[in-house]
Amino acid sequence: MYNFYPLISKERILTVSELTYQIKKFVEPNFQDIWLQGEISNYKIHTSGHVYFTLKDENASINAAIWKRYADIYLKDYTYKDGDKVLVHGKIEIYEPRGEYKIIVDFIEPLGIGELQIKFEMLKQKLAAEGLFDAKYKKPIPEYPSRIGIVTSPTGAAIRDMINIISRRFPAVELILYPVKVQGEGAAEEIAQAIRDFNFYGKVDVIIVGRGGGSIEDLWAFNEEIVARAIFESKIPIISAVGHEIDYSISDFVADLRAPTPSAAAELVVKNRDDVIENIQNIWYTIHQLVTDKIKNAKKEVEHIVKSYAFNRPIDWIKQYTMRIDELTRALDIAMSHRFELIKHNFEQWHKRFESVNPELALKRGYAIVFKNGKIIHSKEELKIEDEFNIKLSDGIIKGVVKGYGEEK
């Protein structure tokens, strides 16, 4: 028998530590950003706050650890247990003392929900950036709607609950159901089309869009962009009522009002008839009391006026005002007489002035006015030999011709 051994150079012999270090040096840099999915087993939370478990599938397993700072973030709202399928992100680390490797987790979420949740958050961020959630676009819900449109499944518990509640609270309201699929393929398109059709119809005051509770997959139609945009573009106010109180959908953020459940939507959309009647009665009583008090106060005021001195002595008032009128009349007569005398005196003064410069009066005193061609002659230089001229006297005109000039004596 022959024994065969591999030919190994002793110069290449490594210690265990060296080998482990080489593996660590080679492996860790190449696995710093990895995603894994698998099933949890041996799940334990240490007193330090760190979490340790094994992530496995049908054929293999790997140890995992979540340090406290990440556990405080991702484990506060969800309690994991053995058997849960999860999606994790992290990096590979080699623990040299034992020659073991594990994944150090910095993110964890339940498998299945995670992909939809990421899609939900991405669409939410996109629509928020476009302003579809802004309060300035929210339309007020009518206080007393006469006709309500409902977009939901005709066979679900949601429609039965809404009909029962609305009929009990305010039976006079008319309900119009637009039956649609609320989950599965084509559901989002049907819901969006129903909203558009109600707007085209235009004879409803408010629309309720929703369904009862279910898994995130069941409610996903209300997280589709086509539904969100149909709600935003609606001219009719819309109440979103999807799932249970803890469920939030994209339609909740876009709608004019979010109701935690379909039943809550029915409570919000109409007031209780009995409460309305009681409110009307209270208003009537308040108005009646105010009017009665007003009449009583007015009656007291009238009685006070009737008993007052001013009301009982109107003749004195008339006499006082009559005397005042007489005084004002006399004062006016005196003022007017004085004014007329002043005007008359001024007129006479001006008349005398006008008379003193009146040329007709000068003519009567023996003066004459010489004219040539209708113009008054002021100097002999203005007349030539043989020029014709007129002399105006007080009793007529004399015509003459210049035959010569003489000197004044």
Share above pLDDT 90 across residues of the chain, in percent, rounded to a whole number: 39
How far is Cα 173 from Cα 7, in angstroms, rounded to an integer? 95
Query: For residue 196, how far is the Cα from the chain centroid?
Result: 24
User: Per DSSP, which regions of 270-348 are E strands?
Assistant: none
**Strand pairing report for 257-258 and 238-242:** parallel
Handedness of CA 165, 170, 172, 176 (dihedral sign): negative
Residue 230 — very low, low, confident or very high, per pLDDT cuts 50/70/90? very high
Residues counted in the chain: 409
The predicted pLDDT at position 9 comes to 55
pLDDT in tens, 166-219: 999 999 999 999 999 999 999 999 999 999 999 999 999 999 999 998 877 889
Rounded Cα–Cα distance for residues 261 and 159 (Å): 11
Q: What is the pLDDT of residue 1?
A: 46
| Contact by Cβ (8 Å): 370, 376 | yes
pLDDT value at 28 more than 90: no
Q: Which residues share a beta bridge with 1? A: none
Contact 243, 219 (CB under 8 A): yes
Task: Give the CATH fold of the 14-111 domain.
Answer: OB fold (Dihydrolipoamide Acetyltransferase, E2P) (2.40.50)
Q: Where are the domains positioned within the chain?
A: 14-111, 134-271, 361-401
Determine the Cα–Cα distance for residues 215 and 375; give it in Å rounded to an integer: 123
41 three-class SS: strand
- pLDDT computed for residue 151 by the predictor: 97
Copy the structure tokens of residue 406: 């003489």
Give every strand in the sheet of 206-211, ordered side by side. Answer: 174-179, 147-152, 206-211, 238-242, 257-258
pLDDT beyond 80 at 352:
no
The rounded radius of gyration (Å) of the Cα atoms in the chain is: 56
Q: SS3 of 300, please? A: helix
pLDDT at 231 over 90: yes
**CATH 3.40.50.2000 holds for 134-271:** no
Beta-bridge partner residues of 392: 369, 397
Dump pLDDT digits (tens) for 29-82: 889 889 998 888 889 999 999 999 999 888 888 999 999 999 888 887 777 888
pLDDT of 100 above 90:
no
